[in-house]
Amino acid sequence: MNTALIIASEEWRYWLRSSLAISVVALFTIILIAVSLLTSLRISEEDTERSHHQSEAEQSFLSQPDRHPHRMVHYGHYILRTSPPLALFDPGLDSVTGQSMFLEGHRQNSATFSSLGASADLGGLSWLTPAMIYQVFAPLLIVLLGHSAIVREREAKSLAPLLAQGVSGFQIVAGKTAALLLFVLFLLIPLLVSAALSLPKGEDILTVVSLLIVYFLYLSVWVILTLSVTTMLQKRPAIIAVLAALWLTLTLVLPSIAVNVASRLAPVSGKIETELAMLTEVRNVSDGHNVNESDLEQLRSSLFEEYGVNRVEDLDVNIRGIVSQRAEEKLTESMNIFADRRMEGEVRQAKVVMKHGWASPMLAIAFASRALSATDLEHYHHFLRQAETLRYDFVQGLNEVHSEQLSYADDINRNLSEASYNRTRIDAENWGLLDEFRFETTTSTKRLKSAGLPIMMLITWMIGLFAILVWASTRLKP
């Protein structure tokens, strides 16, 4: 152990003497700070704007004058999703999925206004985030610094004397590994600062620690991979060529292939196709506007029996509101089938991409990072479900007001005169049934569970490469 630590300290002495490590860390830090500031400013500005518009939308809904309750069902309400605290580090899918949704009766609208689709920031490079810097460019810095760890000793003719003095190949490689792992810890300092800044915003300490650990695992994979190549090959040009090819393949080529494979193996119907199919299906479901439809006969009969009457005019409730409730329930059941089907298809597609994490650690860290940052597909679906719950509750609440506070006679005669119309206006205090919408992420435990498989992939990569490195170190020759 002492020998390995001495070798590690000498490696750092060489880097500092040549200013290589300092230059690499400085370059990485400058790029990371610049990208972090741009990402932070963009997300903070978007969140401020969304919070403002959300407050305006709620105020607009609640400040509506006395109206017919079904008018408010169609008046609708806008909701906007703000970013979770760790989105400042890894915006994940948030930049390409919709952030706003219009909620109204009889329809499930799609989320719209993705920030990437509506932005031309940096000439189309708004995808560049702190997480992307760590996932794509940090491995390149490790390769730059570590590719010469063993070959430099050969070129300096110092490897043979070391082995002749009884220093084992494993000790030499262990020292080089320790030096590079210490370098990784320095690279993680900006991430530590960024993650710590999310704590005052409500992020959980378990999530922050988990995020640091998974990025340490990912960068450690590249440390071990780099040292394995430089230990097994003897010529610097060959080492550089192999490591460059591995970097390109693992970080750029395989992720692109995985996306193309997923789109073929688990295709998802497009938005237009899905909505056309849904409209065709719900066309046969009543929207509740006509209480005399034949398929409502059973509902009328059950209400007559419950209230002991023979005419809808004699009911203690407004059958038009009851019909609207029943219709919204049936419509929602049908629409949820299509929504669930689409989400299941997107999950299947994401799982196909994730499985390629066994072949590319870049995909594994991407899925783990998004899951922990609450910016993955699961949280997007969580937003859609929260939005639908809010939509259904406020629409059914208004339908209940319609059935209980508005008489059937006034309702059907509201267009006879202005006085008749005014009698169907419900007190605006009823609009207070609308709940505030604040997007809530899942618990840190659930997020860690979602990141479990990608983390297992990184651990498997690390163990497999470490076994190769140990094998190569025992066969190290001058």
- Using the predicted structure, report yes or no on whether residue 141 has a pLDDT greater than 60: yes
Give CB contacts under 8 A, 24+ apart, made by 73-77: 73/104, 73/105, 73/106, 73/324, 73/395, 73/398, 73/399, 74/104, 74/105, 75/104, 76/102, 76/103, 76/104, 76/105, 77/102, 77/103, 77/104, 77/391, 77/394, 77/434
Least Cα distance to 71 among 401, 369, 385 occurs for 401
The C-alpha angle 189, 192, 195, rounded to 5 degrees, equals 150
pLDDT in the model for residue 285 = 63
pLDDT in the model for residue 49 = 86
Tell me which of 208 and 284 has the higher pLDDT.
Answer: 208
Burial of residue 62, with CB atoms counted within 10 A of its CB: 0-12 exposed, 13-18 middle, 19 or more buried: middle
Per-domain boundaries in the chain: 2-474
As a whole number, mean pLDDT of residues 66-84 equals 88
292-317 tens-digit pLDDT: 555 567 777 888 887 888 888 878 88
Least Cα distance to 127 among 300, 255, 244 occurs for 255
315-327 tens-digit pLDDT: 888 888 888 888 8
pLDDT-based confidence at residue 455 (cuts at 50, 70, 90): very high
Residue matched to tokens 């089907």 = 341
pLDDT-based confidence at residue 18 (cuts at 50, 70, 90): confident
Question: Can you tell me the distance from the alpha carbon of 197 to that of 214, in angstroms, rounded to the nearest whole number?
Answer: 18
As a whole number, mean pLDDT of residues 1-22 equals 84
Contact present, 67 and 422 (Cβ < 8 Å): no
pLDDT in the model for residue 303 = 82
151-165, 338-352, 357-371: which has the highest mean pLDDT? 357-371
Give CB contacts under 8 A, 24+ apart, made by 158-163: 159/476, 159/478, 160/478, 163/476, 163/477, 163/478
Question: Can you tell me the distance from the alpha carbon of 221 to that of 360, in angstroms, rounded to the nearest whole number?
Answer: 11
Record the tokens describing residue 377, joined without a space. 């597909």
pLDDT in the model for residue 289 = 57
Within 13 Å and on the Cβ side, how many CA atoms surround 288?
A: 26
pLDDT-based confidence at residue 115 (cuts at 50, 70, 90): low
**CA separation, residue 478 to residues 12, 161, 235, 236, 315 (Å):** 22, 9, 12, 14, 97
Segment (H or E) for 159: helix 159-164
As a whole number, mean pLDDT of residues 369-377 equals 93
pLDDT in the model for residue 217 = 97
Query: What single-letter amino acid sits at 312?
Result: V
- Using the predicted structure, report yes or no on whether residue 476 has a pLDDT greater than 60: yes
56-65, 103-112, 282-291, 312-321: which has the highest mean pLDDT? 56-65
pLDDT in the model for residue 272 = 67
As a whole number, mean pLDDT of residues 412-436 equals 84
pLDDT in the model for residue 360 = 95
Longest alpha-carbon distance in the chain: 107
- Using the predicted structure, report yes or no on whether residue 458 has a pLDDT greater than 80: yes
pLDDT in the model for residue 416 = 81
Question: Can you tell me the distance from the alpha carbon of 133 to that of 94, in angstroms, rounded to the nearest whole number?
Answer: 17
Per DSSP, the residues of 187-201 read: HTHHHHHHHHHTGGG
As a whole number, mean pLDDT of residues 237-249 equals 95
- Using the predicted structure, report yes or no on whether residue 169 has a pLDDT greater than 90: no
pLDDT in the model for residue 271 = 67
- Using the predicted structure, report yes or no on whether residue 117 has a pLDDT greater than 50: no
